[in-house]
Amino acid sequence: MDYNAGFQISATGMAVEKLRLDITAANIANMHSAAADAGRVYQPLRVLQQAVPLSFSHEFGRLYAAAGGARVVAVEPQAVALRMVYEPGHPYADAKGFVAYPGVNHTAEMMNVNTALRAYEANVAAMNAAKAMATRALEIGGRQ
């Protein structure tokens, strides 16, 4: 297997997980932001990702691997209900005294942070393992 394919697979995984972490941070940062109009309240986002399959081909009698990995399909708003909080003194309160806040689930967002971090760490470990194997192969080949 070509070591560059292994590096590229890990790199695509790390890029996807970094985007997931960025989107989750934006959701958490905006969970207490209100707007004068309920239609303009921040909508939590989510990352849709897809696996890119690893493919193999034969060229000149050798087996080559075309890198797979992960890719972002879309970043789309989540269809969640607004969180209505009774705050009659708030400048954005409606006639009944309720303020519309984004429907961000803090617990779910923190779980996204944890899973994105663990997946990123796993991709770093895989890249380091591929680097160590490539370095060891060069050391073995250089002794002759």
How much is the pLDDT for 32? 94
pLDDT category of residue 134 using cuts at 50, 70 and 90: confident
Q: What is the pTM of this model?
A: 0.80
Instruction: Determine how many CB atoms are found less than 10 A away from the CB of residue 58.
Output: 8
pLDDT category of residue 47 using cuts at 50, 70 and 90: very high
List, as one string, the DSSP characters of 22-60.
HHHHHHHHTTT---SSGGGS---EEEEEEEEPPEEEEET
Which amino acid is it at 63?
Answer: L
Strand residue runs (E) in the chain: 45-52, 55-59, 62-66, 69-77, 83-86, 98-101
**CA 65/CA 100 separation, integer angstroms:** 51
Domain that holds residue 75: 3-142
The answer on pLDDT for 99 being more than 60 is yes
**CA 52/CA 16 separation, integer angstroms:** 12
Count: domains in the chain: 1
Q: What is the mean pLDDT of residues 115-135?
A: 92
Closest residue by Cα to residue 10 from 112, 130, 97: 130
pLDDT category of residue 144 using cuts at 50, 70 and 90: low
